[in-house]
Amino acid sequence: MEHSPLFLAQSLLRCPSVTPEEGGALAFIEGVLKEAGFEVHRQVFSEPGTPDVENLYARFGRGEPYLLFAGHTDVVPPGDVDRWTHDPFSGEIQGGELYGRGAVDMKGGIACMMAAALDFIRNNPAFKGSIGFLITGDEEGPAVNGTVKLLEWAKDRGERFDHCILGEPTNPNQLGDMIKIGRRGSLTGRIVVEGKQGHVAYPHLADNPIPGMLRLISGLLSRPLDHGTEHFDASNLEVTTLDVGNPASNVIPAEARATFNIRFNDRWTPQSLEEEIDRRLREAAGNTVRYRLSMDPTNAVAFLTPPNAFVSFIADAIEAETGIQPKLSTTGGTSDARFIVKDCPVVEFGLVGQTMHQIDERVPVADLDRLTGIYRKVLDAYFAATS
């Protein structure tokens, strides 16, 4: 079977694996890896209220060190397919670019990982160590029946990882721009201010909750949560909704509701952040504003892989392949790296993310070759340094 990154990427793009459907993507990966000598397992996990999700775990070798490649084959829906230049699941090439849903997020990255690993194994059949793949079908969905449970399953089998590369599209403009060595956490809170409904002409018979809500929001935003840390920007709180559900201009509403989200750095845990929010609201409310605060459960905690030899392997490989010295970053949203970091250091590096989740998502074919070259150089350096 052909193992070029383009062939592998096209084959994956032709699998309609919209979350939570497997769509044939994991079956294709299984066939390729089994042919190359990997031990492959496909696991389906379930949880009440969420769709069943199929996942894949594969390993070549039993020795140490163990380098794990991680990613996801599930993709977001393509939207209006008539607006695409090519069918989103056709894997067509035009102008040197490969089109398809998941081209950069992140079937293209998985194809490059596979191509690099297979080439390394062909040329180093007796290397001392292990290479693995941890591929979920639940990253774009609830993230309940995917990476978390697959990691638990692997650990129950006695699997232990030394380092991991997650192939999310990390580069903002060109391949080589950025490595993600951490991610901010995410915490959502909801505030309800209680009032009393009434006629606007008789305010003494009512209690308008809106001024109280404005006081609370001002209390939350009156000063920064922090000023950043060594590797993270300042934590950021954004009010995302403010509602009273009142269609009438002559009625004082009974309550006001607001939602906010915080992207927080490694100075905070969800618990310590919740305590700070509660303190600020109590201070702003005084004895006059009646309110309720609730915080959504979160599994998105800030994490960091400090710059070390592993990060240097990746940075050096990127510079050797592209001529660019990558920035070490912790920006952006959350990813499955937040689960993997509990088991081993994890670094994210993949393709350019400018078209991810968009109509006509696409990747330059040349970037597939370059990313494969980067992963291949990482494998050489990693196993040479630890042999």
Position 63 pLDDT exceeds 70: yes
Confidence at 46, pLDDT banded by 50, 70, 90: very high
* Residue 17: DSSP 8-state: -
Amino acid at 307: P
pTM of the model: 0.90
**Residue 14 vs residue 144, higher pLDDT:** 14
Average pLDDT, the chain: 96
Superfamily of the domain at 5-183+302-385: Zn peptidases (3.40.630.10)
Which residues of the chain does CATH 3.30.70.360 include? 185-295
Cis peptide before 178 (omega within 30 of 0): no
The stretches of the chain forming alpha helices (DSSP H) are: 5-13, 25-35, 107-123, 147-156, 210-221, 270-285, 309-322, 337-340, 365-385
**pLDDT score of 334:** 86
Q: Put residue 256 in one of left, alpha, beta given phi > 0 → left and psi -120 to 50 → alpha.
A: beta
* pLDDT tens, position by position, 223-278: 999 999 999 999 999 999 999 999 999 999 999 999 999 999 999 999 999 999 99
* pLDDT tens, position by position, 329-383: 999 888 999 999 999 999 999 999 999 999 999 999 999 999 999 999 999 999 9
**pLDDT score of 44:** 97
* pLDDT tens, position by position, 256-271: 999 999 999 999 999 9
In whole angstroms, give the CA distance from residue 257 to residue 28.
Answer: 48
Which residues of the chain does CATH 3.40.630.10 include? 5-183+302-385
In whole angstroms, give the CA distance from residue 93 to residue 169.
Answer: 20
**pLDDT score of 270:** 96
**pLDDT score of 385:** 80
Q: Put residue 179 in one of left, alpha, beta given phi > 0 → left and psi -120 to 50 → alpha.
A: beta
Confidence at 387, pLDDT banded by 50, 70, 90: low
- Whether residue 52 lies in the annotated active site: no
Check 54, 92, 105, 139 and give the catalytic one: 139
**pLDDT score of 311:** 97
**pLDDT score of 208:** 98
* pLDDT tens, position by position, 112-156: 999 999 999 999 999 999 999 999 999 998 889 999 999 999 999
Mean pLDDT for the stretch of residues 5-34: 98
What percent of the chain clears pLDDT 90, i.e. is strictly above it? 96
* pLDDT tens, position by position, 148-199: 999 999 999 999 999 999 999 999 999 999 999 999 999 999 999 999 999 9
Q: Which string of DSSP letters, residue by residue, matches 107-151?
A: HHHHHHHHHHHHHHHHH-TT-SSEEEEEEES-TTTTSSSSHHHHH
In whole angstroms, give the CA distance from residue 55 to residue 43.
Answer: 5
**Residue 74 vs residue 332, higher pLDDT:** 74
Position 33 pLDDT exceeds 70: yes
Tokens linked to 90: 């056709």
What percent of the chain clears pLDDT 70, i.e. is strictly above it? 99
In whole angstroms, give the CA distance from residue 19 to residue 28.
Answer: 17
Position 386 pLDDT exceeds 80: no
CB 35 within 8 A of CB 128: no
- Whether residue 139 lies in the annotated active site: yes
Mean pLDDT for the stretch of residues 291-302: 94
Check 22, 54, 74, 336 and give the catalytic one: 74
β 327-329/178-180 pair status? parallel
* pLDDT tens, position by position, 213-222: 999 999 999 9
Q: Which string of DSSP letters, residue by residue, matches 233-283?
A: PPPEEEEEEEE-----TTEE-SEEEEEEEEEE-TT--HHHHHHHHHHHHHH
Q: Does domain 185-295 have CATH number 3.40.1160.10?
A: no
